């Protein structure tokens, strides 16, 4: 039995687990779903997926605090969970794995699974790492952050900052204190480094080689050097993995998509409602039709003749019919845009989103707007530029062609099953 563990505080993480769950079921695998709960657990119900709540239920308020404490957003001297909470989750998960006869756990960002799988003696498979993986930063491929983590970086050349961060990232101990304390209490080895916090025994690299610039062979042949990683960690390219919610396009959104002027799709799900308002007003000023995925934000006050506001929307049905997307740069949203051949403006909150947009910007399919330097005039000018220059769409369409060769959910499911079969033989 394979256990999928979505972190339901995140829309993207929940949707990814749904995609892999469906693909595993289609391939005949025995699979179950377990979660701490959260604001997006309703998506599991909407898909008709049975799931178990393991450990203390994470209500909506706790989920928002988790997101605020998360990697790249919250202070690096904490571990996103309190000591008692982390212990409760790890023990409950390990007990669940043993009772259900789980052979492997698969997660995006349920970080307690790193300890609970080791406690239960089963492998952990992760798909959340994005570009923050050693085969990339060992090649100096991660970008300098768009928002400097320390003031000194504002005065150094970007190339130097990039080199320093790529070179030193493996030795970082950010966010680990709580995990180290609990590991010691349970008689387990400490987590080797911050990157290792995000890596399982098998890491599904949910991107295409054409985007990262690292070949399939180089990715799969990577092996840990030194003591900064788990010795068992391996990487395998799968492909794009983004939400495809089984939802209809609402009538008002359908009507907006049929307007003649260029259309911009604004889907800013992990930021403040005020930033959403600023971006939408600037996008409208570019003389475009704007569709807004409100998700968790109440921004219906933005509705106007050229602005249509929805809730959680089926982006994979909307993206192919728009001319430009504006997102935070999470991997799911940028991949949804690229799979539709639609250029993108990214406004990253943290380094993972920075990296996602950076790789597309290098290939001419996106532009990055740093959060700290954002202003309405700049957004308006950039919207006009990207809507008027065909090169952006051409570049996005080249990535679309690469994505068309990869069915991400199916390749994830196949990689999981192949990995577990190899373990049984060994």
Cα angle for residues 106, 107, 111 (degrees, 5° grid): 130
- pLDDT tens track for 203-228: 999 999 999 999 999 999 999 988 88
Helix (H, G, I), strand (E, B) or coil at 264: strand
- pLDDT tens track for 373-401: 778 788 899 999 999 999 999 999 999 99
CA distance linking residue 291 with residue 306, whole number of Å: 8
CA distance linking residue 254 with residue 17, whole number of Å: 28
Average pLDDT of the residues in 232-246? 91
The upper half-sphere exposure of residue 281, i.e. CA atoms within 13 Å in the direction of its Cβ, equals 12
Give the model's confidence band at 123: pLDDT under 50 very low, under 70 low, under 90 confident, else very high.
very high
Q: What pLDDT is recorded for position 174?
A: 86
CA distance linking residue 203 with residue 133, whole number of Å: 9
CA distance linking residue 342 with residue 267, whole number of Å: 14
- pLDDT tens track for 293-348: 876 667 788 877 888 888 888 899 999 999 999 999 989 899 999 999 999 999 98
> Where would I find the H helices in 121-266?
134-137, 158-168, 177-185, 194-197, 209-212, 216-220, 251-257
Q: What pLDDT is recorded for position 272?
A: 76
| Size of the chain, expressed as the number of residues it contains | 426
Q: What pLDDT is recorded for position 129?
A: 65
- pLDDT tens track for 247-258: 899 999 999 999
Q: Are 135 and 169 in contact (CB under 8 A)?
A: no
Share of the chain above pLDDT 70, in %: 93
CA distance linking residue 363 with residue 397, whole number of Å: 11
Buried b (16+ CB within 10 A) or exposed e, 402-418: bbeebbbbbbbbbbbbe
CA distance linking residue 108 with residue 16, whole number of Å: 8
Neighbours of 154 (CB within 10 A): 10
Q: What pLDDT is recorded for position 148?
A: 60
Which of 114, 131, 106 minimizes the C-alpha distance to 16? Answer: 106
Range with lowest mean pLDDT among 101-115, 125-139, 313-327 = 125-139
pLDDT over threshold 60, residue 152: no
Q: Are 364 and 138 in contact (CB under 8 A)?
A: no
Q: What pLDDT is recorded for position 161?
A: 65
CA distance linking residue 107 with residue 114, whole number of Å: 9
Q: Are 417 and 30 in contact (CB under 8 A)?
A: no
Q: What pLDDT is recorded for position 230?
A: 92
Q: What pLDDT is recorded for position 323?
A: 97
Q: What is the DSSP string of 350-388?
A: SHHHHHHHHHHHHTTSEEE--GGG--HHHHHHHHHHHHH
Distance from first CA to last CA of the chain, Å, rounded? 18
pLDDT over threshold 80, residue 166: no
pLDDT over threshold 70, residue 149: no
Q: What pLDDT is recorded for position 155?
A: 53
- pLDDT tens track for 269-285: 767 778 888 888 899 88
Q: Are 128 and 107 in contact (CB under 8 A)?
A: yes
- Residue of higher predicted confidence among 140 and 366: 366
pLDDT over threshold 80, residue 63: yes
Q: What pLDDT is recorded for position 387?
A: 95
């Amino acid at each position: 039995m394979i256990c999928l563990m979505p972190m339901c505080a995140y829309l993207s993480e929940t949707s990814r687990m749904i995609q892999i769950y469906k693909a595993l079921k289609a391939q005949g695998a025995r699979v179950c779903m377990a979660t701490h709960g959260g604001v997006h657990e309703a998506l599991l119900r909407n898909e008709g997926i049975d799931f178990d709540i393991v450990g203390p239920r994470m209500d909506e308020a706790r989920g928002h605090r988790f997101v605020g404490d998360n990697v790249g957003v919250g202070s690096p001297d904490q571990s996103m969970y309190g000591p008692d909470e982390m212990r409760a989750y790890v023990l409950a998960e390990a007990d669940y794995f043993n009772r259900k006869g789980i052979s492997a756990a698969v997660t995006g960002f349920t970080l307690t699974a790193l300890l609970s799988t080791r406690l239960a003696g089963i492998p952990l498979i992760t798909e959340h790492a994005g570009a923050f993986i050693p085969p990339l930063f060992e090649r100096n491929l991660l970008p300098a952050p768009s928002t400097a983590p320390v003031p000194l970086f504002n005065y150094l050349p970007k190339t130097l900052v990039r080199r320093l961060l790529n070179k030193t990232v493996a030795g970082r101990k950010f966010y680990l204190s709580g995990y180290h304390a609990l590991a010691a209490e349970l008689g387990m080895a400490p987590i080797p480094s911050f990157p290792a916090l995000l890596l399982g025994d098998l890491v599904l690299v949910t991107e295409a080689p054409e985007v990262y610039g690292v070949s399939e062979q180089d990715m799969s042949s990577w092996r840990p050097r030194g003591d900064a990683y788990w010795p068992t960690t391996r990487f395998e390219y799968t492909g794009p993995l983004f939400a495809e919610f089984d939802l209809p396009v609402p009538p008002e959104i359908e009507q907006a998509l049929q307007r003649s002027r260029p259309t911009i799709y604004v889907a800013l799900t992990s930021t403040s409602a005020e930033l959403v308002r600023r971006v939408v007003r600037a996008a409208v000023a570019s003389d475009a039709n704007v569709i807004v995925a409100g998700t968790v934000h109440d921004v219906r006050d933005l509705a106007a003749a050229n602005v249509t506001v929805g809730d959680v929307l089926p982006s994979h049905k909307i993206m192919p019919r728009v001319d430009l997307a504006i997102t935070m740069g999470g991997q799911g949203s940028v991949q949804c845009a690229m799979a539709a051949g639609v250029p993108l403006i990214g406004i990253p909150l943290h380094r993972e989103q920075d990296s996602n947009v950076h790789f597309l910007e290098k290939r001419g399919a996106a532009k990055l707007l740093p959060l700290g330097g954002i202003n309405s005039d700049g957004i308006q000018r950039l919207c006009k530029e990207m809507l008027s220059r065909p090169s952006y769409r051409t570049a996005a369409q080249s990535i679309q062609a690469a994505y068309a060769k990869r069915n991400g959910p199916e390749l994830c499911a196949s990689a999981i099953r192949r990995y577990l079969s190899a373990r049984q033989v060994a």
